[in-house]
Amino acid sequence: MLVVRPIKLSDYDALHTCAVESGHGFTSLPVNEELLTNRITHSEYSFAKQDVTEPGDEGYLMVGFDTETGEVAGTTGIEASIGWDVPFYSYHISKVVHSSQKLGVNNVVKLLTFGNNYTGCSEICTLFLRPAFRGGLNGRLMSKCRFLIMSEHPERFSKTIFAEMRGVSDAEGNSPFWQWLQEHFFSIDFTLADYLTGIGKKGFIADLMPKLPIYVNLLSKEAQAVIGEVHDNTRPALKLLEREGFTNRGYVDIFDAGPTVECDLRNIESVRYSIRAQVQIAEHSSSKDFLIGNTSFENFRAVAAKGAYDQASDTVILSSEVASALEVKEGEFVRMLAQ
């Protein structure tokens, strides 16, 4: 059984393995001991923080582990409010019309405008599941457990939730979009720029990034073709978020031009349709699959398991194995999402 829980410092080696396996373009998992260690300790601080009434500098990082082997299968995270301590940049795609009635010319041209529009929003991030564990409901669990915790503790998150999707790059980490920017403005390769961003050294962006809007039709054909497109490995994650109600409102990443998708917290499907139920512990023969999380924050646990839910009494029968994995007792509550 895969169980999601808050990360601990003892998980460093497993997180480092995920960082290595995630490959180029996965900015939130840099292969850097100091940064990964800091990310873990900050998460421990964030989960332990009491009496939170609004999102702040908290960063929540979780891991999924196999109860049979103890092996960490992947990681998933939430940043409560981004852009305050370290600037968060993005491009917004807009349109301008160049027209002349006398000449009968009417051209619509796309622009990329540099900005910080997501400052203060909550970001779902760092979702990575190792290849050996990409089966069954594991992927859904690692992604949607974040919505279970948001449903139960909405005060810790902003009204707008967003996610950056990895853009197009090749096996060596080269991005067609970045290659155009590199040639004209940066003179450093994509992997280095991506790495510097991942370790928090973003000053070069503000120093070198063009401040005025960029006309899309002036970019290379290769760069234009990948704006708003996702990496092949990211398509399943994007489809899952789209089914949750996330949509792209014209924002793309400044490095690889991958789409940024967003949704109001209250409109996320898994938030709207999650169920709070009281636990009864007994063996049962139900074939109904649920994603289930306990209602604790500091000791959050989530699993994909079968349960026998009774709508009339708002109770759910869970096996002793599932209850133990969730660290819940008879009469306590869980939040569930039918699959």
- Please give the positions annotated as active site: 231
What's the CA gap between 197 and 233, in Å, rounded? 21
| C-alpha dist (Å) from residue 142 to 23, 74, 130, 177, 288 | 19, 8, 11, 30, 19
Determine the Cα angle at 83 with ends 21 and 213, to 5°.
95
Dihedral class, residue 126 (left if φ above 0, else alpha if ψ from -120 to 50, else beta)? left
Strand partners, 4: 64, 302
Three-state SS string across 242-293, please? HHHCCEEEEEECCCCCCEEEEEEHHHCHHHHCCEEEEEEECCCCCCCEEEEE
Q: What does the block give as tokens for 2?
A: 């895969």
Q: Judge contact between 205 and 196, C-beta under 8 A.
A: no
Backbone angles phi, psi at 251, to 5 degrees: -100, 140
Determine the Cα angle at 126 with ends 299 and 236, to 5°.
115
What's the CA gap between 148 and 27, in Å, rounded? 25
What ranges in the chain are assigned the alpha helix state H?
12-22, 33-48, 138-152, 176-181, 190-198, 203-208, 221-226, 235-244, 269-272, 320-326
Residue 145 CA from chain centroid, whole number = 11
Q: Judge contact between 119 and 79, C-beta under 8 A.
A: no
Give 277's Cβ-side CA count (13 Å radius). Answer: 26
